[in-house]
Structure 1
């Protein structure tokens, strides 16, 4: 477990991400991070957009189901 503190900067509360946290996320300064509330109420911090992942998986299913039609249209 990694511990970090919340501090005030201007009118915002910020959490510092250590180098170790960034490495675990495979993220770097300037990247966008996504926070999702899990079913148990916890927060999950991710370097990938979970909505995009779901959409790409759905698109893959549709493309696989309609492969012949899509090839004919191409």
Structure 2
């Protein structure tokens, strides 16, 4: 487990990513990251993946088009 702090910068709360975290993510300053919420309420940080971005965009469209049906199934 890697520990980090949340700090205030202007009107935002910022989490600093250490060099170790960036290495694990294979990311660098300026890269895009995705934060995905798990079913258990956890958050997962993922490096930018164009395939994932396309899949998430498609899922958003499907969920928007079928909101009532998905609500009934929930």
Q: Could you state the TM-score of these two structures normalised by the residue count of structure 2?
A: 0.66
**Structure 1 stretches of at least 4 aligned residues deviating more than 4 Å after TM superposition:** none
C-alpha change, 1:51 and 1:30, in structure 2 (3 Å) is closer
Given the alignment of the two structures, is residue 29 of structure 1 paired with residue 29 of structure 2, yes or no?
A: yes
**Is the contact between residue 31 and residue 48 of structure 2 (CA under 8 Å) also seen in structure 1?**
no
Match for residue 17 of structure 2? Answer: 17
- Any gaps of 5 or more consecutive residues in structure 2? 57-74
Given the alignment of the two structures, is residue 6 of structure 1 paired with residue 10 of structure 2, yes or no?
A: no
- Any gaps of 5 or more consecutive residues in structure 1? 56-74
Match for residue 45 of structure 2? Answer: 45
Q: Could you state the TM-score of these two structures normalised by the residue count of structure 1?
A: 0.66
Q: CA RMSD in A?
A: 1.5
User: Larger C-alpha radius of gyration, 1 or 2?
Assistant: 1
